[in-house]
């Protein structure tokens, strides 16, 4: 039996959050949601999720700022982060890697791809 994990999805687009929830429902983990970068940071600090799925383009703080902040704080530095975004240029991928992003999945994505990435990150 697997332990229920906490997965934080940070995206300002409600449809994307709903797609993520539907895609990951079968994994039986607790899914929590943030609608902007500030809320994502607050939840990362207060809930210590096992995985963060982070969009780049969000209000208040963008995903890069959230990732920078998370990597600087001891309580969030080791939380795995997967960028889930339309920002798919080589420069975006390089920036994500330089900031400590653990994985990168571009939108649009299939539910199967998302589940595979999430399972690999949680098991790894």
pLDDT tens by residue, 23-45: 999 998 999 999 999 999 999 99
Q: For 6-123, which CATH class? A: alpha beta
Residue 80 burial by Cβ neighbours in a 10 Å radius (0-12, 13-18, 19+)? middle
Q: Is-above-0.85 flag for pTM? A: yes
pLDDT band at residue 2, thresholds of 50, 70 and 90? low
CA dist 46 → 6, 39, 87 (Å) = 12, 10, 28
Instruction: Report the percentage of the chain scoring pLDDT > 90.
Output: 85
pLDDT at 1 over 80: no
Q: What is the mean pLDDT of residues 7-26?
A: 95
3-state secondary structure the chain: CCCCCEEEEECCCHHHHHHHHHHHHHHCCEEEEECCHHHHHHHHHHHCCCEEEECCCCCCCCHHHHHHHHHHCCCCCCCCEEEEECCCCHHHHHHHHHHCCCEEEECCCCHHHHHHHHHHHHHC
- CA gap 49, 2 in Å, rounded: 16
pLDDT of residue 85: 87
Q: What is the mean pLDDT of residues 49-73?
A: 96
pLDDT at 102 over 60: yes
In the chain, domain spans: 6-123
């Amino acid at each position: 039996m697997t332990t229920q994990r906490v997965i934080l999805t940070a995206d300002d687009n409600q449809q994307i959050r709903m797609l993520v929830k539907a895609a990951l429902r079968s994994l039986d983990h607790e899914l929590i949601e943030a609608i902007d970068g500030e809320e994502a940071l607050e939840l990362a600090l207060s809930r210590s999720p096992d995985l963060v799925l982070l969009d780049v383009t969000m209000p208040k703080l963008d995903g890069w700022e959230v990732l920078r902040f998370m990597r600087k704080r001891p309580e969030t530095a080791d939380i795995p982060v997967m960028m889930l975004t339309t920002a798919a240029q080589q420069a975006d991928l390089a920036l994500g890697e330089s900031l400590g992003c653990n994985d990168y999945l571009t939108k649009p994505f299939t539910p199967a791809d998302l589940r595979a990435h999430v399972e690999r990150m949680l098991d790894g």
